[in-house]
C-alpha cells in the first residue's frame, strides 16, 4: 500500500517522532509512506488535520481517508478560541474521514465532547508504540549521581505552558522540605516563548538542573541513570515520553488525568495523583504535598516499580504492536 501522510517533519518529539517512526516501520512491513504529494497514493492518513486540497483530492479519486486523533483544544488551554482551533479537525471528522484512529480512550472521549459524536464511527484505538530495543534498561548509562545515596528524578518534554512544569517544580520544593535535599531533578527539553524565562527564574533551586534539548537517541542513557520519571502535564492524550521512560524501566510519578491511567497502573509501575473533574473549563488545584509523598513512596520500592514499568511497556506499548495494528487498519 502507498500511504500519503501530508506532514512536515520539524525537529523531534510529538507528532514528528510518530511520523518518522511510522514511515520507517511501515516500510519495513512492505508499505510505502511519503510526506510529499504524489497522485499514486492508496490511502491518505492525516494527523488530526490536513490541507483541504489533499482531502478534496482523495474524495475525487475515491481514496480512503484515515484521521488519527489525539487530544483536542478546550477552554483552559486555549480560551475562547478553542472552537476555532477544533473546527478543521471537526470538519474532517464528519465530512471526509472514512476511518478514525484514536490514540487512547481519552482521545476518543475528547473527540466526542469537542468534535461531536460521529454516526457510524468506524474506528480503532491504537496506542503509541516505543522502540523497545532503543528504550531499554540495558545499554549505556549516564553517571548522574553526586553520591551513592542521591535520588535522581528525570522529566523530558517540549514545554509550552507554565502548567506543564510549574506544578512539578513546586512539588519538588515540598519534597525537599519533607524528605531532605539529597536528590537531583534533571529537566530535558525546550521551553517555548511563553515559558522561556522559567529555567532562569528557577536557577536558585540547586536540586534542579535544566539540560536543554536532548536528542531522542540520547534520552535512554539519562533515563537508565535515573530513579523516577516525573510528569504533571494537563490531560495528555498518549505521551510518548511516558512510554519511553517505562520502556527504560523508570517508575512514573504523575497525575491521574488524560490517558495516564491507561498507561500507568498506579501501585504497580508508578503512582498517579488523584484529580477531580476534567480540567476542561476550570484549572484544577493539585495536591502537590501528596505528589511529593507519592514520589517518596516510589523511591522506597523503586526496583519493583521499575520491573513493572518495563513489563507493561513490553506487553502493551511496543512499536511492533502499533505498526501491526496500523497495517491491519490500512489493509
Confidence at 16, pLDDT banded by 50, 70, 90: confident
Tens of pLDDT along 247-283? 999 999 999 999 999 999 999 999 999 998 899 999 8
Name the strands in the sheet holding 2-4, side by side, starting at the edge strand that comes first in the sequence: 32-34, 2-4, 43-47, 64-69, 99-102, 123-125
Tens of pLDDT along 203-239? 999 999 999 999 888 999 999 999 999 999 999 999 9
What whole-number distance in Å separates Cα of residue 218 and Cα of residue 271?
Answer: 26
pLDDT of residue 34: 95
Using the predicted structure, report yes or no on whether residue 242 has a pLDDT greater than 90: yes
Percent of the chain surpassing pLDDT 70: 98
What whole-number distance in Å separates Cα of residue 19 and Cα of residue 222?
Answer: 24
Beta-ladder partners of 45: 66
Confidence at 14, pLDDT banded by 50, 70, 90: low
Tens of pLDDT along 129-143? 999 999 999 999 999
In the predicted model, what is the mean pLDDT of residues 90-107?
96
Using the predicted structure, report yes or no on whether residue 78 has a pLDDT greater than 80: yes
Using the predicted structure, report yes or no on whether residue 12 has a pLDDT greater than 80: no
In the predicted model, what is the mean pLDDT of residues 308-320?
97
Confidence at 13, pLDDT banded by 50, 70, 90: low
CB within 8 A of 274, min separation 6: which ones?
256, 287
Of 217, 211, 98, which Cα lies nearest the Cα of 153? Answer: 211
Tens of pLDDT along 44-68? 999 888 899 999 999 999 999 999 9
Q: How far is CA 148 from CA 151, 198, 256, 306, in A?
A: 9, 30, 32, 19
Q: Which string of DSSP letters, residue by residue, matches 65-117?
A: EEEEE-----HHHHGGGHHHHHHHHHHHHHHT-SEEEESSHHHHHHIIIII--
Confidence at 153, pLDDT banded by 50, 70, 90: very high
User: In this structure, what is the dihedral angle of CA atoms 4, 5, 6, 11, given to the nearest 10 degrees?
Assistant: -140
- Exposure b/e, 70-98, CB count within 10 A at least 16 = b: bbbbbebbeeeebeeebeebeebbeebbe
What whole-number distance in Å separates Cα of residue 56 and Cα of residue 27?
Answer: 26
pLDDT of residue 66: 97
Of 316, 320, 331, which Cα lies nearest the Cα of 104? Answer: 316
Which three cell numbers, joined as nine digits, stand for 297? 513512596
pLDDT of residue 216: 84
Confidence at 9, pLDDT banded by 50, 70, 90: confident
What whole-number distance in Å separates Cα of residue 145 and Cα of residue 33?
Answer: 43
Mean of per-residue pLDDT scores for the chain: 94
DSSP state of 217: G
Ordered structural domains, the chain, with CATH? 2-125 (3.40.50.2000), 151-316 (3.40.50.2000)
Confidence at 42, pLDDT banded by 50, 70, 90: very high
pLDDT of residue 184: 97
Could you tell me if 321 and 129 are in contact, meaning their C-beta atoms sit under 8 angstroms apart?
A: yes
Q: Name the H helices within the chain.
A: 14-28, 52-61, 75-78, 82-95, 105-110, 166-179, 198-201, 219-224, 240-247, 260-263, 288-300, 302-316, 319-330
Using the predicted structure, report yes or no on whether residue 314 has a pLDDT greater than 70: yes
Task: Specify the pTM.
Answer: 0.94
pLDDT of residue 11: 54
Phi/psi of residue 66, nearest 5 degrees: -115, 125
pLDDT of residue 17: 76
Phi/psi of residue 85, nearest 5 degrees: -65, -30
Amino acid at each position: 500500500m502507498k500511504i500519503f501522510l501530508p506532514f512536515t517533519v520539524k525537529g523531534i518529539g510529538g507528532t514528528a517522532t510518530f511520523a518518522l517512526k511510522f514511515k520507517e516501520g511501515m516500510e519495513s512491513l512492505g508499505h510505502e509512506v511519503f510526506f510529499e504529494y504524489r497522485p499514486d497514493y492508496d490511502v491518505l492518513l492525516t494527523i488530526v488535520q490536513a490541507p483541504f486540497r489533499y482531502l478534496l483530492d482523495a474524495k475525487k479519486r475515491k481514496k480512503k481517508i484515515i484521521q488519527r486523533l489525539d487530544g483536542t483544544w478546550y477552554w483552559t488551554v486555549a480560551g475562547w478560541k478553542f472552537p476555532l482551533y477544533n473546527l478543521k479537525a471537526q470538519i474532517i471528522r464528519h465530512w471526509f474521514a472514512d476511518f478514525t484512529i484514536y490514540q487512547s480512550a481519552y482521545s476518543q472521549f475528547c473527540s466526542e465532547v469537542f468534535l461531536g459524536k460521529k454516526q457510524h464511527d468506524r474506528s480503532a484505538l491504537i496506542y503509541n508504540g516505543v522502540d523497545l530495543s532503543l528504550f531499554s534498561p540495558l545499554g549505556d548509562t549516564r553517571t548522574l549521581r553526586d553520591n551513592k545515596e542521591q535520588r535522581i528524578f528525570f522529566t523530558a518534554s517540549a514545554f509550552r505552558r507554565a502548567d506543564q512544569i510549574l506544578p512539578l517544580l513546586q512539588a519538588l520544593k515540598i519534597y525537599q522540605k519533607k524528605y531532605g535535599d539529597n536528590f537531583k531533578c534533571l529537566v530535558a527539553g525546550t521551553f517555548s516563548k511563553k515559558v522561556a524565562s522559567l529555567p532562569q527564574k528557577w536557577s536558585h533551586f540547586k536540586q534542579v538542573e535544566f539540560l536543554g534539548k536532548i536528542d531522542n537517541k540520547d534520552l535512554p542513557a539519562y533515563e537508565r541513570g535515573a530513579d523516577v520519571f516525573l510528569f504533571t502535564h494537563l490531560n495528555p492524550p498518549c505521551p510518548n515520553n511516558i512510554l519511553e521512560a517505562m520502556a527504560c524501566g523508570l517508575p512514573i510519578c504523575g497525575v491521574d488525568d488524560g490517558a495516564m491511567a491507561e498507561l500507568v497502573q498506579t501501585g504497580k509501575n508508578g503512582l498517579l495523583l488523584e484529580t477531580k473533574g476534567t480540567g476542561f473549563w476550570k484549572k484544577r488545584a493539585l495536591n502537590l504535598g501528596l505528589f511529593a509523598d507519592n514520589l517518596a513512596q516510589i523511591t522506597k520500592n523503586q526496583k519493583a516499580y521499575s520491573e513493572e514499568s518495563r513489563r507493561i511497556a513490553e506487553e502493551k506499548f511496543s512499536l511492533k504492536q502499533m505498526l501491526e495494528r496500523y497495517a491491519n487498519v490500512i489493509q
